[in-house]
Amino acid sequence: MQENQEKFMEKVYNLNQGKNLKYTILTMGCQLNENDSEKIAGMLEKMSYSECKDVKEADLVIFNTCCVRENAEERLFGKIGEIKKLKESKDVILAIGGCMMQEEVMVEKIKKSYPFVNVIFGTHTLQNLPENIYKAIIENRKVKDVIDIDGEIYEGLPIKRNDNFKASVTIMYGCNNFCTYCIVPYVRGRERSREPEMILEEVKGLAKEGYKEITLLGQNVNSYVGNDKIRNFADLLNEVCKVDGIERIKFISPHPKDFTDDVIDAIANNEKICRIIHLPLQSGNTKVLKEMNRKYTKEQYLVLAEKMKERIPGVVFSTDIIVGFPGETDEEFEDTLDVVRKVNFEQIFMFIYSKREGTVAAAREDQVPEEQKHVRFDKLKDLYESRVDENNDKYLNTHQKLLIEGKSKNNAEMLEGRTDTNKVVVFKPREGNKIGDVVLVNITETHKWYLKGEII
Ligand code: SAH
Ligand code: SF4
Ligand code: F3S
């Protein structure tokens, strides 16, 4: 952390003494934003704010925004309206940050329509939050701290994590891919990788604190660039696997175009790496993929998935799919369904194409009508759901290693854990079982969205 920000943190801390001030953060978007919010929370706690869940109790409200799809904007405006009301009855600082604040039009809109917003910060200026909050309190200034150029990487920000047995570790920032539908490269800047030693130090620290599961994060993790010793993503995975105490390692998102053999080997050779691999497909049609600038064909994707199935026994896949990309025909959409049938994904995150101003695809005139997009979405959902039972049946009478995550939501006597393919399993605990433990169970029953098991 920069020295001057530490000073501001101390100044705000001193100002806040004896006031028992509370903060709340609303995080929208992906796990990278979640991880940023954990750092925001870390800074706020050092400034003597404590967390509250109910926004009505808060003296400081932070919205960490996402702009990957359109509906986020409506939601944000609704939330800002709520805070406006709250501000009528008490002093509340409202700070809005995250990806949406990297869009100039959005910042202008907020400044014009919601002049009571105290701080606007971008994705490259997260570390300046102490200074910005100080200015908002002491000088009652409206602060806008958004820069367009890629931010440097700031190490050593304080962090308050959401869980105490699983943790996310960002390994790289930004994206260079410019998929034609996607706003992320515009709001997160170019790819910047963290020093591998810094990443390993963080993971070792987490292991010491008792964390069991690590998720390595980046928009494109397999284009991670290290140094002479730990050169690339495969090397990094191998090193993270050596950290004692860490039982499980996940990563999101890899890009199929960069899924090299050494990464496949690293997964195959390390049982700690989860056997569910997120492999974003987006579309199953080669022409659409080309227009999306994804840099792989339907066949290349299928060959990659097959190769991984051969080399990593028991591997399953999850994916992201967009329906209704501009110009997509019914026939081209059939290719997406075909890939879904062939790969048999365990989990699909399905999205209706959403036009993002400034991207290449948004300028196209052949946008797919809304109703058609919805018809395709429903078809994809039906296909996926029709396969869930069959996919679950594969687990019956198999032995699965579970990481215990907590109490079952429906039955207080039962605990819940996840397999290394991300399946939720409910089971009756033995004495001494606790959150974060790894146990072996036999799967005895399947239900649509969870399995039941018995400890062996
Ligand atoms: N870097 C990651 C994903 C980042 S965004 C990757 O490449 O996999 C998460 C998902 O949102 C994307 O995979 C994509 O499926 C979806 N998405 C991105 N832009 C979108 C848009 N304009 N409309 C609909 N879905 C979109
Ligand atoms: Fe967006 Fe593509 Fe980058 Fe993922 S890889 S963040 S989809 S541009
Ligand atoms: Fe959204 Fe930004 Fe993530 S746009 S998906 S929060 S990188």
220 lines ligand 2 (CB under 6 A): yes
Report the amino acid identity of residue 120. I
Ligand 3 binding pocket mutation candidate from 28, 32, 124 (most atoms within 8 A of CB): 32
184 lines ligand 2 (CB under 6 A): yes
Residue nearest to atom 7 of ligand 3 (CA): 184
Query: Is 354's pLDDT higher than 90?
Result: yes
Q: What is the pLDDT of residue 269?
A: 97
Of ligand 2's listed atoms, the one at least distance from the Cα of 183 is 1
Q: Tens of pLDDT along 43-73?
A: 999 999 999 999 999 999 999 999 999 888 8
- Which residue blocks in 209-295 are alpha helix, DSSP H? 233-241, 261-269, 286-291
Cα 69 to averaged position of ligand 3 atoms, centre (Å): 9
pLDDT band at 74 (very low <50, low <70, confident <90, very high): confident
Tokens 């695809």 locate to 361
- How far is CA 164 from each of CA 161, 169, 174, 211, 386, rounded to the nearest angstrom? 7, 14, 27, 6, 36
Q: Tens of pLDDT along 302-333?
A: 999 999 999 999 999 999 999 999 999 999 99
- How far is CA 442 from each of CA 73, 145, 406, 430, 455, rounded to the nearest angstrom? 45, 54, 19, 14, 6
Q: What is the pLDDT of residue 180?
A: 98
Ligand (nearest to CA of 292): 2
188 lines ligand 3 (CB under 6 A): yes
Query: Is 83's pLDDT higher than 80?
Result: yes
Give the residue extent of every domain in the chain.
Answer: 2-145, 166-392, 394-455
> In CATH, which of 1.10.3720.10, 3.30.530.20, 3.20.20.70, 3.80.30.20 is domain 166-392?
3.80.30.20
Q: Are 149 and 189 in contact (CB under 8 A)?
A: yes
Query: Is 148's pLDDT higher than 90?
Result: no
φ, ψ of residue 82 to 5 degrees: the values are -60, -40
Ligand 2 binding pocket mutation candidate from 31, 175, 176, 289 (most atoms within 8 A of CB): 175
Mean pLDDT of the chain: 95
Which superfamily does 2-145 belong to?
A: Methylthiotransferase, N-terminal domain (3.40.50.12160)
Instruction: State pTM to two decimals.
Output: 0.96
Give ligand 1 pocket residues (Cβ under 6 A).
68-69, 181-182, 184, 219-220, 253, 255, 280, 282, 320, 322, 351, 353-354, 356
Query: Is 150's pLDDT higher than 80?
Result: no
CA distance 15 to 133: 11
223 lines ligand 2 (CB under 6 A): no
Cα 334 to averaged position of ligand 2 atoms, centre (Å): 23
φ, ψ of residue 87 to 5 degrees: the values are -65, -20
99 lines ligand 3 (CB under 6 A): yes
359 lines ligand 2 (CB under 6 A): no
180 lines ligand 2 (CB under 6 A): no
187 lines ligand 2 (CB under 6 A): no
Sheet holding 143-145, edge to edge: 50-51, 22-27, 60-65, 93-98, 119-121, 143-145
Cα 22 to averaged position of ligand 1 atoms, centre (Å): 34
394-455 has which fold?
A: OB fold (Dihydrolipoamide Acetyltransferase, E2P) (2.40.50)
Of ligand 2's listed atoms, the one at least distance from the Cα of 255 is 5
Tokens 């049938």 locate to 341
95 lines ligand 2 (CB under 6 A): no
Q: What is the pLDDT of residue 359?
A: 97
CA distance 241 to 235: 10
pLDDT band at 153 (very low <50, low <70, confident <90, very high): confident
